């Protein structure tokens, strides 16, 4: 099973302790990617969260595809309590500047996993 929603918001924030990137419907549906910045030595990898911390984990992403119209994520294993969910399909209805931030953010988060991210 795949979960789908329409995102009207997208963002990327680079802090001293974390890179945070994600999409949201502006209400309760969201998909958030997080990773330590490139300058930090300790790195647990890519963290993914959907709707709540109970639906989250590290190292769960097999592949991520980003196009102007859609963000698709293929999971490599179960994400938190989401039994039977194999991935996400998020239709992007965001402004161009938000899309650009999303693209830049995902490229930084997937920085050493070039085969795991496709940006079209």
**Tens digits of per-residue pLDDT, 83-105?**
999 999 999 999 999 999 999 99
Q: What is the pTM of this model?
A: 0.94
Q: Would you give the DSSP letter of residue 114?
A: G
Query: What pLDDT is attached to residue 96?
Result: 97
E strand map for the chain = 2-7, 9-14, 19-24, 30-35, 47-50, 52-58, 61-66, 70-75, 87-92, 117-119
Query: What pLDDT is attached to residue 114?
Result: 74
Query: Is residue 23 predicted with pLDDT exceeding 80?
Result: yes
Query: What pLDDT is attached to residue 40?
Result: 83
3-class state of residue 75 by DSSP: strand
């Amino acid at each position: 099973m795949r979960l789908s929603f329409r995102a009207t918001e997208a963002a990327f924030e680079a802090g001293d302790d974390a890179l945070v990137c994600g999409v949201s419907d502006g209400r309760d549906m969201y998909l958030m990617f997080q990773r330590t910045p490139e300058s930090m030595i300790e790195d647990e990898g890519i963290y993914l969260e959907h709707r709540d911390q109970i639906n989250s984990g590290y190292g769960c992403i097999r592949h991520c595809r980003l196009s102007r119209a859609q963000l698709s994520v293929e999971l490599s294993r179960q994400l938190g309590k989401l039994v039977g969910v194999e991935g996400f399909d998020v239709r992007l209805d965001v402004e161009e500047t938000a899309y650009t931030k999303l693209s830049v953010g995902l490229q930084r988060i997937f920085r050493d996993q070039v085969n795991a991210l496709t940006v079209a």
